[in-house]
Amino acid sequence: MARRTEAELSGMSLELVYIAGNTVDAGKVERTLTEHGVDYALSLEPFASTSMMRPGDHTGLFVYVPAARHRACREMLERGGLTDTVGLDEALLTENSDGA
């Protein structure tokens, strides 16, 4: 299990778990998910930052994981020091797991 294309994961509901704004974080996210046997997809996408250090429009590496594993992935990334994870609305997670 490791990085997959979005087409390979097309039967799963994927949710954004992390936006890596630099290559160091991107590498750490990939290593962490791979070491834990998580299938994930990557996409380069634009994002806006309101940070005082680097405000403006940027491109980041968006990391998507299966919705059913989102919470566990978010926790493992945070334990590894990657604290800028993207939360998932709990109602959406319940809705997806119920098949609705």
Residue 15 parent element (H or E): strand 14-20
Paired residues of 20 in beta bridges: 61
Nearest Cα residue to 61 out of 48, 73, 75, 47: 47
How many C-beta atoms surround the C-beta of residue 71 within 10 A?
A: 16
Give this prediction's pTM: 0.76
Nearest Cα residue to 66 out of 97, 35, 20: 97
Return left, alpha or beta for 56; rule: phi > 0 is left, psi -120 to 50 is alpha, else beta: left
pLDDT score of 12? 77
pLDDT in tens, 5-26: 666 666 778 899 999 988 999 9
In the chain, domain spans: 14-86
Residue 98 has pLDDT above 50, yes or no: no
Helices H / strands E in the chain, number of each: 3, 3
Residue 100 has pLDDT above 50, yes or no: no
Pick the CATH number of 14-86 from 3.30.70.260, 3.30.70.1530, 3.30.70.20, 3.40.50.720: 3.30.70.1530
pLDDT in tens, 33-72: 999 999 899 988 887 777 666 667 878 889 999 999 999 9
